[in-house]
Copies of this chain bind each other. A is one copy, B any other.
Amino acid sequence: MNHIQVKIEINPDLYLKNPDSSELGRKIVNQSITMINELGFETFTFKKLGLKIESPESSIYRYFENKHSLLVYLVSWYWSWTEYRLAFATTNIVSPKERIIKAIEILTKPVLIDNSFSYINEVLLSEIIFSESIKAYHTKNVDEENKKGFFKAYKNVVKRISNIILELKPDYVFPNMLISTVIEGAHQQHFFTNHIPSLTDKVNDDNSIPTFYTELIFNILK
């Protein structure tokens, strides 16, 4: 994967000017990822970002309508990239069981190695997804933004995996519910582990969240 340069396609409605098309745009995306991680999404502002990249706030507004749009952009980027990772990891594997196992691993573990894209740190981006992505759609404008296709990449991932579920259990009626529960659940359990540990379980095993969700899926499938 390291040496193949893949271009992640982003819905143009997610930005005012493509950040991928200029030095400044790439700096905005790159530094916003670091800053959102450092400050948390609510404390992060375009003013602070402007100071960091030494460009005026108003220049950032030429790329993104506001910080919410930037978050939606990042989330969308992550899911497009993850769909590519999933395709790559599961292709040529005949057994649907094996494919599910690989997929669940990709969906429930934060990214640990940053290797493919120059100006996007995937490790930090995945941390944002795990801790902040829910804020991208938990807003008053969900319906409108959903209509505009802002969550398409995420939906594609859910669909792709629920199709594997249906290969194994064609009559199963809740494949999407199952997969979105697993994805969102894994994000939340990571958050709980770090912040409200009594809502989760401490096991002498760093892999307990993927283990839990893999078991959960196979219990339902059998």
Interface residues of A (CB under 8 A from B): 39-40, 42-43, 131-132, 134-135, 137-140, 142-143, 146, 151, 154-155, 158-159, 173-178, 180-181, 184-185, 188-189, 191-192, 195-196, 198-201, 203, 208-209, 212, 215-216, 219-220
Given A40-B140, A176-B201, A184-B185; 11 other pairs, CB 8 A cutoff: A42-B139, A131-B138, A134-B134, A155-B199, A174-B208, A176-B199, A177-B189, A177-B200, A181-B181, A181-B216, A215-B220
Q: How far is the CA of A132 from the CA of B220 in the complex (A)?
A: 29
| Chain B residues in 8 Å Cβ range of A219 | 219-220
Q: How far is the CA of A154 from the CA of B195 in the complex (A)?
A: 14
Top 9 A-B residue pairs of the complex, sorted by shortest distance between their CB atoms: A40-B140, A219-B219, A181-B185, A142-B195, A180-B199, A174-B212, A155-B198, A174-B201, A176-B201
Q: What are 14 A-B contacts with C-beta separation under 8 Å?
A: A131-B138, A134-B134, A138-B191, A142-B195, A146-B195, A154-B199, A155-B198, A159-B198, A174-B208, A174-B212, A176-B199, A177-B208, A184-B188, A219-B220
The reply to whether A195 and B134 contact each other, CB–CB distance below 8 Å, is no
Interface centre among A181, A189, A201, A203 (most CB of B within 10 A): A181
The reply to whether B180 and A139 contact each other, CB–CB distance below 8 Å, is no
Partner of A146, one of B131, B158, B196, B216: B196
The reply to whether A216 and B212 contact each other, CB–CB distance below 8 Å, is no
The reply to whether A198 and B158 contact each other, CB–CB distance below 8 Å, is yes
Partner of A155, one of B134, B191, B196: B196
**Smallest distance from the beta carbon of A82 to chain B beta carbons, Å?**
15
